[in-house]
Structure 1
Amino acid sequence: MKAAALFSFGGPEVLTLADVPEPQAGPGQVRVRVRAAGVQHFDTGIRQGWAPPSIDLSFPVVPGNEFAGVVDRVGEGVTGFAEGDEVLGYTTLGSYAEYVVAPADQIAHKPASMPWDVAGGFSANGQGAHLCLGEMKVGPGDTVLIHAAAGALGTFSVQLARAWGATTVIGTASEANHDYLRSIGAVPVAYGEGLVERVRAVAPNGVDAAMDNAGPDALRASVELVKDKNRIRTMISDEAAEELGVPALGPGRSVERLLELIRLYEQGSIRIHIRNAHPLARAAEAHRELETGHGRGKLVLTVD
């Protein structure tokens, strides 16, 4: 099968279209003919040779940890899914390909109303937002600060916080994305020097919880603004979190989280902006675009 694969680590140029063996569905697994796959910062880390200790990066490596497509084969013992079902789900690696295999408890049926590009980029950022906001105990009446709110993760986080009852969601972004943030229910503020004062100006009664998707400076600003550090989380600034006494984010992807997010999508509480959809053969270009920063919405790969 065709896949966007790595045979060495490095810049985006090492991600190339190649022929690799087709995966086979074992017991408890399904094989999916991929229609779209999301592009994540996790994937760019894999491309550069980074991985959690539990992941084996033996070449060829096929990145990609979220996908949508059509069930192609069903392994022994699988119930609830059949060949031809339209699904979305998550893995650790392998989604930048024509076929991906995943455990049956990591996929869900795709709503008919959800386009393929949205479905392909739905699971990972959605679950990250759900996990982070859940650990922060975001709920009715809260004022919540989301750093880098115009990106894929930020977009999910703003809307999920609102769906869970937050009264005010403040989002940091470059000024070019402020109208976009207003359109998804956030009060925009600009990055940079004076951020703490700008946030206090729009939230004179204080900030209850903050989520850092931008870096250590954003996390430090969050500590200034939020009284209880247990209501702060970071997705990217682990060393700064340890230094500042901010709790680490725990694990927690699950199909139950995914199903709740799908329900919110069907209710109209979450909508996803697709920044760009690149064909599989241009995966390297998608990585370049992601690494420019300050983008709006989600990047995906499409598979014919």
Structure 2
Amino acid sequence: MSSSSRRVVATGFGGPENLAVEEVDPGEPGPGQVRVSVRAAGVNPADVKRYRGPGDPARLPLVLGFEAAGVVTAVGPDTSHEAGEEVIVYRVTGAYATDLVVDETALTPKPSSLDWPEAGGVLLTGATAWHTLEATGVTAGDTVLVHGATGGVGLPAVQLARLRGARILGTASERNHDLLRELGAQPVTYGDGLADRVRALAPDGIDVALDLVGTDEAMDVSLALVADRARIATIANFERAPREGVKLLGGGPGADPGDDIRAAARAEIARLAGDGSLRVLVASTYPLDDAAEAHRQIATGHTTGKLVLLP
């Protein structure tokens, strides 16, 4: 294959100014592998953390991106896939690229009803949200408090919890309250007095709390309102979770990565997104050359919906 394939790399540790696009030969797929022409790659906070640094210069350049969607263009020996298939790719490293060679175990069929940006951005946050619900045992009749309900993981968490028959209270800024109502949740403004506002809406109590923001407020309010600490989960408060005895989930030190749960959920999440039960809200799309701009935007922490690169 020609070296016309391009990918985004971090050439140094620090901020988005270290991102560059380089030409690369992705190579041919080996046994059990396929090559995918990438149509969309999801941007996630974890991508920014990967090179925030400081780090070991011997690891540079770092490839970025954990999820994508595209079309199979070549298959290696012993694969069950064919060229021309539309697929979602998760979890991989180096998804910010025009072409990827991946193990076929990373592939999920793309529903034809999903457009490329949605398909490229559905699985990482969707699988993370699924893991938080599994870990806390969310079921019909539960009342669930979601901190950061209109963030990247919050949006699928609200919808997936609703699909399980739970009642959802979600914290968000005023401008996102209508969106939460559309998704079937009751919005609550975060900030001073949050616990009292939640108690007023849910006098019978909160069964489960999901901290998707990592603030002390989210942790304090969760501890105050949920009796069983095994039903409080955080993906962001690495400092306090072990001390408070709540579940720490995800990719950081001491966290339960839930790899098996997340992998097993992929097909169902794709199906729900394909039939419209799970809405994938795409905030903005960027060309590969503007990956640094996408990272500046996601680092603000105020994006509602997914940011997606379109190679």
Give the TM-score normalised by the residue count of structure 1. 0.93
The residue type equivalent to 1:68 in the other structure is A
Q: CA deviation at 1:23?
A: 4.3
**Partner Cα distance (2:257, 2:199) in 1:** 32
Query: CA offsets per residue over residues 139-198 of structure 1, 9 Å max, x none?
Result: 1001011111111211000000001111x1011111111111111111111111111111
Shift of 1:267: 3.3
Which residue identity is paired with 2:104?
Answer: A
Deviation at 1:266, TM superposition (A): 3.0
Return the letter of the residue paired with 1:290: I
Distance in 2 (CA, whole Å) between partners of 1:123 and 1:57 is 30
**What is the alpha-carbon root mean square deviation over aligned residues?**
1.8
Contact 1:207-1:226 at 8 Å conserved across structures: yes
Distance 1:114 1:247 in 2: 33
CA shift in 2, pair 1:181/1:154, >3 Å:
same
Contact conserved, 2:89 with 2:108, CA < 8 A, in 1? yes
Structure 1 residue 255: Cα displacement: 4.0
Give CA deviations for 1:181-233 in whole Å, capped at 9, x if unaligned: 11111111111111111111111111110111111321221111111011111
Q: Map 1:171-210 onto structure 2 (within 5 A).
A: 171-210=170-209
Alignment of 1:13-28 (within 5 A): 13-28=17-32
Q: Which amino acid aligns with 2:86?
A: E
Residue correspondence of structure 1 range 1-304 to structure 2 within 5 A:
1-49=5-53, 58-79=59-80, 81-166=81-166, 168-217=167-216, 218-249=218-249, 250-253=256-259, 254-303=262-311
User: Higher mean Cα deviation, 133-142 or 101-110?
Assistant: 101-110
Kindly state the Cα deviation for residue 56 of structure 1 after the two structures are TM-superposed.
11
Q: Which amino acid aligns with 2:83?
A: E
Preserved contact between residue 108 and residue 255 of structure 1 (Cα < 8 Å): no
- Say which SS state the counterpart of residue 145 (structure 1) adopts: strand
Q: 1:92 and 1:40 mapped to 2: Cα distance?
A: 13
Asked if the contact 1:107–1:255 (Cα under 8 Å) also holds between the matched residues in 2, the reply is no
Q: Distance in 2 between matches of 1:72 and 1:178?
A: 43
Distance 1:56 1:184, change over 3 A: farther
Q: Between Structure 1 and Structure 2, how many residues are aligned?
A: 298
Counterpart of 1:66, as a letter, is E
Taking the aligned partners of 1:275 and 1:153, their CA distance within structure 2 comes to: 14
Amino acid paired to 1:264: L
What does the per-residue CA deviation read over 1:104-132, in whole Å, with 9 as the maximum and x for residues that have no partner?
11211101100000000011001001111
Cα contact 2:12–2:57 (8 A) shared by 1: no
Query: How far, CA to CA, are the matches of 1:193 and 1:45 in structure 2?
Result: 29
Displacement of 1:59 after TM fit? 2.1
Distance 2:131 2:177 in 1: 25
Q: Identity of aligned pairs, percent?
A: 45
Structure 1 gap segments, 5+ residues each: none
| Aligned mates of 1:50, 1:233 — CA distance in 2 | 28
Cα distance between partner residues in 2 of 1:134 and 1:20: 40
**Is the alpha carbon distance of 1:56 and 1:270 closer, same or farther for their aligned partners in structure 2, counting shifts above 3 Å?**
farther
Query: CA, structure 1 residues 279+71, in 2 after alignment: closer, same or farther (shift >3 Å)?
Result: same
Unaligned runs of 5+ in 2: 250-255
- How far has the Cα of 1:290 moved from its partner? 0.4
Contact 1:274–1:299 (Cα < 8 Å) also in 2: yes
Residues in 1 aligned to 2:275 and 2:148: alpha-carbon distance in whole angstroms: 25
Residue aligned with 2:59, SS: coil
CA contact (8 A) 2:111 2:271 kept: no
Alpha-carbon offset, residue 284 of structure 1? 0.4
Q: Distance in 2 between matches of 1:106 and 1:236?
A: 25
For structure 1, which segment, 32-41 or 20-29, has the greater mean C-alpha deviation from structure 2 after superposition?
A: 20-29
Deviation (angstroms), 1:50: 7.4
Q: Determine the C-alpha separation between the residues in 2 that align with 1:107 and 1:278.
A: 23
Counterpart of 2:219, as a letter, is L
Residue deviations 1:3-53, cap 9 Å, x none? 1111111111111222233244222222211000001111010121379xx
Pair 1:255–1:107, CA change in 2 (3 A): farther
